[in-house]
Amino acid sequence: MRNGKTKLLITKVLIGCFLVGVFRCSLYASEGGDLMDELVSAINSHDHVKAKEASERLINMGDAAMPLLKRGLTLENKPLQSRILKILNQTKTANSTKIILDFATREKDKYMVRAAIEALCYPERDIAVEVDEKVLNFFLAKVQEGEFIFAPLSARILGKMRQVDPKLRSEACISALKKEVSRESDANTPQQILPGAYVTEPQYKIRQFIFALEDIGTTAVPYISRVLDTTSDKNHKEYLTICLCLAGGKKTPSTEVKSEIVRIAKRSSNGYIRALGIRILGEWEDKTLITLLKDALNDNFKVAGKPDVVTPDMRKGINGRYYFDYYPVRSEAFSALRKLGIKIKREGNKFTVEE
């Protein structure tokens, strides 16, 4: 008799939980529908305050808002689509990742495809979801095509696709890196850098391919090593050594890799590669490298940047535009020494160690 009453009580509790869940889902659906209406209305009327408020409430709903957001992306309303991608970006659930991946793959408008790709990259997020062949081939194609922004960011996305074969991801990034290195112009010739990025366009792509291999991690090491052993191009070999160090664990490299990174940071004929080498040395926080890092504060490699605001210390180019000089190696050495507690006085591009 007591067992019968216990079973009846358990059944009632389960039914009650089910009904509460149904009620909450219904409530969320109703609230979410109203919020979407508010969001659409705010965007169409350019009311940024109300759009922000509706967005924050949709973010707080989490996965309950996903069906509404997915439906909203099907509407031919680019401002709304852009806002929804930002909401999905901040939600950071597996469902939001799947929705962005699906949208990026099927969307035809190039601007919106870029917005979706950027939503997957910034801020960084692991893409720990099952990826179908269509989505995978889409990003592999973008990397292979080599188009600015689309190729490097697609590589970063591949780097974070934990469920995809690391061999496939590694070889795609290694191939893209080789192609871009072969296109790289003389790194010792001053070049214009991207606004706010402090690197040239080719160098931006190279770095993102390298960081994608770092994201893949130790499973990329055999494929990097295989190409490293066969390449004869000096720059390519040094870039691959940097990849090997980053993917294999930049803070605990083998003795051989560590020795090669030190050599690259000190003696590479390519200023961009020296800067990457110094950057890695900074991660080690090794006080025996202080002298090397201090010497790097006087490295003469520079690139020309286009400023947002012209100041008296800038120079005028032959085309009438103003430029500022940026020294990548010096800047990386400055950051590395600060990590070691070394005080440095900076005046423009001149760095002085304060004893």
Torsion sign (Cα): 262, 265, 266, 270 = positive
Residue pointed to by tokens 């469920």: 163
Provide the CA 47 distance to its chain's centre, in angstroms.
31
**Cβ proximity of 271 and 328 under 8 Å:** yes
What local confidence, expressed as pLDDT, does residue 187 receive? 53
- Give the CB-side neighbour count of residue 153, counting CA atoms within 13 A: 18
Residue 63 · residue 95 · CB < 8 Å:
yes
- Taking Cα atoms as reference points, which of 128, 131, 132, 150 lies closest to residue 141? 150
Q: What is the pLDDT of residues 141-166, one digit of tens each?
A: 999 999 999 999 999 999 999 999 99
Read off the pLDDT of each residue in 25-47 and give the average, rounded to a whole number.
Answer: 72
Q: What pLDDT is stored for residue 29 in this prediction? A: 43
Domain spans in the chain, listed from the N-terminal domain onward: 33-123
Coil vs helix vs strand at 278: helix
Q: Which residues pair with 192 in a beta bridge?
A: 304
Handedness of CA 170, 171, 172, 178 (dihedral sign): positive
**Cα 343 from Cα 355, distance rounded (Å):** 8
Please tell me the distance from the alpha carbon of residue 296 to that of residue 306, in angstroms, as a whole number.
24
pLDDT for the residue 339: 92
Q: For residues 104 and 349, what is the distance between their CA atoms, to the nearest angstrom?
A: 41
Q: What is the DSSP string of 41-59?
A: HHHHTT-HHHHHHHHHHHH
Q: Indicate if the pLDDT at residue 18 is higher than 50.
A: no
Q: What stretches of the chain show up as alpha helix (H) in DSSP?
A: 2-44, 48-61, 66-72, 78-91, 94-106, 110-121, 133-145, 150-159, 166-183, 201-216, 221-228, 234-249, 255-267, 271-284, 290-296, 328-339
**Residue 117 near residue 150 (C-beta atoms within 8 A):** yes
Which pLDDT band, with edges at 50, 70 and 90, does 28 fall under?
very low
pTM tops 0.75, yes or no: yes
Q: Are 181 and 132 in contact (CB under 8 A)?
A: no
Give the other-Cβ count within 10 Å of 255's Cβ: 7
Residue 304 bridge partners (DSSP):
192, 325
pLDDT digits (tens, 9 = 90+) for 61-83: 999 999 999 999 998 899 999 99
Give me 43's structure tokens.
């965007």
Average pLDDT of every residue of the chain: 86
Q: Report pLDDT for 312.
A: 66
Does residue 22 register a pLDDT over 50?
A: no
